[in-house]
Amino acid sequence: MQIKPSKSVLAKRRLLNYLISFESVLLVLLTVVAVQVRNIGEELAFKNDVKTYALLISFPVIWLCSLSLFGAWDMKILDNHIDGYRRLLKSSFMTFLAFSSASYLFNIQISRFVILFSLFGGTILHLILRWIFLRIVDKKLKSKEFKSQWLVLGNSGQEVGLIHKLGVSEKVELRYKEILISRYEFSKWVDEVTLQITLSKCSKVLLADPHEFSSLQIEQLIWSIQQTGAEFLVYDRIGLTASQNQLSYNGGTNWVSVGTAQISDSLRVLKRLFDLTLVIPSIIVLFPLYIVIAFLIKFESRGKLFYTQERIGQNGTLFKFPKFRSMRPGSDALRLGILGRPDQGMRERDKSDPRITRVGRVLRRFSLDELPQLWCVLKGSMSLVGPRPILPEEAPQLGDFHFRRQIAKPGLTGIWQVSGRKDTSWEERMALDIKYVQDWSLALDLILIAKTIRAIISGEGSY
């Protein structure tokens, strides 16, 4: 039994078709413009032969094939933007390899400018335009006209609560179906589920707790739901399966291998180069601001210019963590007495912390007190993006699983900083940090840096 796709699904397909058409035309125009700009006032930089023109014509074709191969136009990118950017960067890299290899194998001389302008310029332009496109799509799909409906399969519990929060953030209407397979025959319960999907035109079905079912029942449930045209999702309880899995075929059966976190030794080198490329010019440009902030701090109150703490860094090692001083001298000894240990009431106590100076509140509002940590990034004890370092006295609150966040270098910014900062609970913060470690990519770092700028301007969770 199949149902007519919901308005939101049809809208997604239509918008993706627009994106595919637009990007296809864009790639062709980029190649043409690159050749024309390179040869203004000059003779053609390449020989007038069939091989050269064939390679130039194939350039946008290769790129389009790479975009398709890596799923850069899959409907999933509308829900997972970061994955969409990652796929776009992968396709650009593969295009560069394919084009360079073809040029070398067939001994075709193509202007470097044409390649750089078309590929690197095109990639940056693609990222910008895709960001604009996804913003428009989000706004359109969250409107009342295309409001989606999701069906949640589960009884009351933590997982159902998490799905409820997800539904609120995504602005979708949630419908619930209790798991009552102990009272009814399983096949009858599945028929009730598919009927509810059909009548409500649900676009997604979320299984909150798969442990209620046997493997055979889950297989039957998935098959029945897929026949309705709805997308089936299962809550990943351990938080590792999605980002660290690899299918392995052993002994005639399939196994899912859960590997180590994404930040391998080779990727650490890339991340370090990325940090240095951004932090060195940032320190130079921001140096006059350092002088102004230092003057204001000294003008308001006596005491040291910098406030330095010990924080827990990568693999649990301690390091010196500097900030511009935003509190009155001697405030550190009063911390536990005023704020106590992190709990649900922490954010309210932070907002009314009497130790913060007037200049300090301004610095904290725009995160300017964090600027000295750029030197930690330069030295290598921190990274631009990563889990926020915690205090040694907070370490006992880390469970065995939470300690996974220490695999990465602590960051100047991260997912927590762009997700509400101090408006999030301790558990939410730990979950965000672990998600970063498991899902790390260069594209993710770029996106988080861009979101950090917006978060600083809005001041959300900053006090």
Helix (H) or strand (E) holding 227: helix 215-227
Is the pLDDT at 250 greater than 90, yes or no?
no
Q: What is the mean pLDDT of the chain?
A: 77
Comparison of pLDDT for 383 and 7, the residue scoring more = 383
Angle at 324 between CA 307 and CA 301, to 5 degrees: 85
Rounded Cα–Cα distance for residues 427 and 234 (Å): 21
Record the tokens describing residue 28, joined without a space. 């062709």
Identify the burial level of 217 via C-beta atoms within 10 angstroms of its C-beta, where 0-12 means exposed, 13-18 middle and 19 or more buried: middle
Residue-wise pLDDT for 314-369, tens only, equals 888 899 999 998 888 766 666 666 566 555 555 555 566 777 888 888 888 888 99
Give me the residues paired with residue 327 across strands.
356
Record the tokens describing residue 214, joined without a space. 């046997």
Is the pLDDT at 136 greater than 70, yes or no?
yes
Instruction: Taking residues 429-436, report their average pLDDT.
Output: 83
Amino acid at 329: P
Comparison of pLDDT for 298 and 142, the residue scoring more = 298
Rounded Cα–Cα distance for residues 173 and 194 (Å): 17
Record the tokens describing residue 309, joined without a space. 């703490």
Is the pLDDT at 450 greater than 60, yes or no?
yes
Record the tokens describing residue 440, joined without a space. 């790390």
Can you give the residue ranges of every domain in the chain?
Answer: 7-141, 148-235, 265-458
Instruction: Taking residues 399-424, report their average pLDDT.
Output: 79
Name the least confident of 17-26, 208-217, 232-241, 450-459: 232-241
Quick one: pLDDT at residue 377?
95
Quick one: pLDDT at residue 2?
42
Instruction: Taking residues 252-261, report their average pLDDT.
Output: 61
Banded pLDDT at 239 (limits 50, 70, 90) = low
* Closest by Cα among 208, 204, 229, 234 to 219: 234
Amino acid at 90: K
Question: 47-69 burial, b for 16+ CB within 10 Å, e for fewer?
Answer: eeeeebeebbeebbebbbebbee
Quick one: pLDDT at residue 340?
60
Banded pLDDT at 1 (limits 50, 70, 90) = very low
Instruction: Taking residues 211-225, report their average pLDDT.
Output: 81
Residue-wise pLDDT for 28-76, tens only, equals 787 777 666 555 434 444 445 566 667 677 777 888 888 888 888 887 7
Rounded Cα–Cα distance for residues 427 and 343 (Å): 10
Comparison of pLDDT for 105 and 300, the residue scoring more = 300
Structural class in CATH, domain 148-235: alpha beta
Mapped onto helix, strand or coil, the DSSP state of residue 158 is helix
Banded pLDDT at 224 (limits 50, 70, 90) = confident
Q: Could you identify the residue written with the tokens 């180069």?
A: 273
Comparison of pLDDT for 106 and 381, the residue scoring more = 381
Instruction: Taking residues 211-233, report their average pLDDT.
Output: 81
Record the tokens describing residue 459, joined without a space. 């001041």
What's the Rg (C-alpha) of the chain?
26
pTM, whole model, 2 decimals? 0.57
